Chain A
Amino acid sequence: MSNLQSETIDQSRRRFLGAAAGAGAAVAGTAAAPAWGGSTLMDTMGSFFQNHYQRMSDEEIADAIGRIERRAKRRYDVDIICRDQPPQEDVVFGYALNISKCQGYRDCVSACVRENNLDRGSQMEYIRVLEMEEGSRNLEHSEHYYDPDTVPVEGKYYLPVQCMQCDNPPCVKACPVEATWMEPDGIVVVDYDWCIGCRYCMTACPYQARHFNWREPQIPSEDINRNTNYLGNRPRPRGVVEKCHFCTQRTREGRQPACQEACPTGARIFGNLLDPSSEIRYVLANKKVFRLKEELGTEPKFWYFTD
């Protein structure tokens, strides 16, 4: 497993180095001054005129990645590696969560925050673990900010909620500028450089899975995860919406998402829905599963089940 991982990382790093060379050439050609820390007029203009992700050529994406990395250097004084990791062939990701096992530790939440470079200033979290009353699934009786000395609390159970990566995502439909869409591997992503910040997607989402950068994100430099992906955990600008992306920077390399790895109870099953031998397919075939707010027709690719 670990061998496989390092191999895929190396492959993508090579891919990245090739892209960076292109970006370097472009910068040299336009006489940019790295001595400024990358904050050049060219970068500002480049960002302003940057096209939609799906309409950019490989060169333009390489240029954009160069700007992202220089911006991270300038803001956080950290050398990040931003890749443009494509979706894998014949893969559609799905998630299943065993609520009998979840104990409400919220290790998934903190792992997600670290992995995905979430704004510490506003305490943004992609995963919200709801403390539910036994015998009820009424979300309005859930406690979002439970803080007892120890969990689990008697008479409660825990329901982690994050982006459901809906197959019929109302957020995608709502966006007036197509800044968010579903990738071939089923992940709903955001082009942070295209989003106009109208927050209509947040209004449309029935799972409160989308989050807005109300101010410039604040992350201590030493806490930055330098391994980033373009449609994923790269540092975000102010004034745009972001959300869980099933850790594209990991899962598109064949690794597990950070929340899955962090879970100490083994409640989280993540995998390829198209692979009949995957664990998630086993769960869907053999457990009694349910999805949140299924009646809304959003077709979540996130299931819950019990032992």
Chain B
Amino acid sequence: MLLSFIRDAVASMFRGGRRYWLWLGFLALVLLAGLVAYGLQLSQGLIATGMSDQVSWGFYISNFAFLVGIAAAAVLLVIPAYVFHRKDIKSVVLIGEGLAVAAVLAAMLFVIVDLGRPDRILHMLPVIGRFNFPQSMLAWDVVVLSGYLLLNLAIPFYVHYCHYRQREPNFAAYFPFVVLAMFWAISIHTVTAFLFSSNTGRPFWHVALLGPRFIATAFVSGPALIIIVLQVLGRVTRYPIPASVIDTLALIMTVALQISLFFVGVELFTDFYNETAHAASVRYLYFGLDGLASLAPWVWTALLMNLVAVVILTINPLRRQLRLLNLACLLAFAGIWIEKGMGFVVPGFIPTPLGEVFEYTPTAVELIVSAGIWAFAALVFTLLAKASIAISLGDVSAERAEGEGSPVMASG
């Protein structure tokens, strides 16, 4: 039964119309380009990137920090679905968990492509390697991300398997894991914030507000993405997406963006009212230092995007118009991606702890590798969502498989 479930689920991933295959083909192509660029990086070394001893983390780690937030945001579907028993949200919670799986995998890949010696990744394993746990925050991140990945694979696997056999999942059996996953979701993003805020030599990151800021921004970018993705799924599949789900997510996102912008204001006040040496990175970020200001246009754009988004979201009549809501989602997603990615990771290194202002620009290799990882994430999500929807709609089930005497479905 378990084997036929896996076989049928995988088979359903690769059944679809012309547009579905075009989409998969497009993602595969971008992924391939990413692989080629990564091959180049492997042969040349990390010199192929724009990073330096001064700015030793760049575009990869920026995307990593952002994606951990996306992964954590799945909890925003999990909590109302399982704790408040919102039926409408429960109907899409599995989609959210699929998104979490894709985002965690991509986040992990962004760390792996950033390694100087990926061939030594086994050194991280306990026993075979030497794992500096619990001292190293990076070791913590490995633990929490792996755990989160497992939870988000195991719970949906069980629920889908029950659906496949057309049985009700045993709530008592999986609810403890759901509760664990909720706390775990918050932990992955908190630990990722600690990865940065633990560095005493980097005053830009060394602030207690970092954890709350990470969570708040994750609860903006995550729902923004989920709102868009659910609408797309509602169009390209027969799966019903309740409008009330979109409404709830939009409301969460509204509050989270308001809080995020408040946090930005709090930090700007603290840094600039009586400006100290510790404000140098913020000054560089917004205004530039020594005539160098390559991040300033980006961060101001991000701020503007977030401000427009928060206006749309805050005014009820505007938010209720789906078109404007979608615009707000796109703006906030891009705005947070800049603010929390390049606008957060890179200025932590500028100026250096010895006061040198040395800028960083990602190379084409970094951009293409990153695009490849994003395409991989989209590919993983597409395949998971495809199978999930097929099983939830009853297109793929044990009964059907038996009834037709073959795992191949008539309709797709």
Binding site for B on A (CB under 8 A): 48, 52, 55, 124, 128, 130, 138-142, 144, 161, 170, 173-179, 194-200, 202-208, 210-216, 237-241, 293, 296-298
| A52: chain B residues within 8 A (beta carbon) | 123, 130
B56, B118, B135, B351, most chain A CB atoms within 10 A: B56
Give Cα A208–Cα B356 distance, bound, in whole angstroms: 10
Contact status B277-A140, CB under 8 Å: yes
List 7 A–B pairs whose Cβ atoms lie within 8 Å, in order of A's numbering.
A170-B199, A177-B123, A195-B117, A198-B115, A200-B138, A207-B353, A214-B47
Additional 9 contacts, C-beta under 8 A, given A178-B132, A195-B116: A139-B355, A175-B136, A177-B123, A177-B130, A199-B56, A199-B116, A203-B199, A211-B53, A293-B353
Give Cα A212–Cα B44 distance, bound, in whole angstroms: 14
Contact status B116-A296, CB under 8 Å: no
Of the four ranges (under 10, 10 to 19, 20 to 34, 35 or more), the interface on chain B belongs to 35 or more
Give Cα A204–Cα B135 distance, bound, in whole angstroms: 13
- Which of the residues B47, B111, B119, B354 comes within 8 Å of A139, measured between beta carbons? B354
- Whether A140 touches B355, Cβ cut-off 8 Å, given contacts A170-B199, A214-B46, is yes
Contact status A128-B117, CB under 8 Å: no
- Whether A142 touches B131, Cβ cut-off 8 Å, given contacts A170-B201, A177-B124, is no
Contact status B353-A198, CB under 8 Å: no
Contact status B351-A140, CB under 8 Å: yes
Contact status A214-B51, CB under 8 Å: yes
Contact status B120-A196, CB under 8 Å: yes
- Whether A208 touches B115, Cβ cut-off 8 Å, given contacts A175-B132, A203-B56, is no
Asked if B137 is at the interface (CB within 8 A of a chain A CB), the reply is: yes
Contact status A177-B354, CB under 8 Å: no
| B349: chain A residues within 8 A (beta carbon) | 203
Give the secondary structure class of A's interface: loop
Contact status B45-A213, CB under 8 Å: yes
- Nearest neighbor of A239 in chain B, beta-carbon distance: B116
Q: Nearest-CB distance from B10 to chain A (Å)?
A: 33
B49, B117, B118, B119, most chain A CB atoms within 10 A: B117
Interface residues as binary, B175-202 with A (CB distance below 8 Å gives 1, 0 otherwise): 0000000000000000000010011111
- Which of the residues B56, B119, B124 comes within 8 Å of A176, measured between beta carbons? B124
Contact status A174-B123, CB under 8 Å: no
- Which of the residues B53, B117, B136, B348 comes within 8 Å of A174, measured between beta carbons? B136
- Nearest neighbor of B53 in chain A, beta-carbon distance: A211
Give Cα A248–Cα B242 distance, bound, in whole angstroms: 68
Contact status B354-A161, CB under 8 Å: yes
Contact status B200-A208, CB under 8 Å: no
Give Cα A211–Cα B348 distance, bound, in whole angstroms: 17
Asked if B362 is at the interface (CB within 8 A of a chain A CB), the reply is: no
| A212: chain B residues within 8 A (beta carbon) | 46, 53, 56, 116
Asked if B280 is at the interface (CB within 8 A of a chain A CB), the reply is: yes
| A296: chain B residues within 8 A (beta carbon) | 200-201
Q: Nearest-CB distance from A189 to chain B (Å)?
A: 15
Give Cα A45–Cα B120 distance, bound, in whole angstroms: 12
- Which of the residues A138, A170, A195 comes within 8 Å of B277, measured between beta carbons? A138
| A207: chain B residues within 8 A (beta carbon) | 201, 353-354
Give Cα A298–Cα B46 distance, bound, in whole angstroms: 29
Contact status B354-A144, CB under 8 Å: yes
Give Cα A203–Cα B199 distance, bound, in whole angstroms: 7
Contact status B353-A206, CB under 8 Å: yes
Q: Nearest-CB distance from B200 to chain A (Å)?
A: 5
Contact status B132-A239, CB under 8 Å: no
Q: Nearest-CB distance from B288 to chain A (Å)?
A: 14
Asked if B225 is at the interface (CB within 8 A of a chain A CB), the reply is: no
Contact status B53-A202, CB under 8 Å: yes
Asked if B237 is at the interface (CB within 8 A of a chain A CB), the reply is: no
Give Cα A238–Cα B47 distance, bound, in whole angstroms: 10
Asked if B169 is at the interface (CB within 8 A of a chain A CB), the reply is: no
Give Cα A32–Cα B49 distance, bound, in whole angstroms: 37
- Nearest neighbor of A211 in chain B, beta-carbon distance: B53
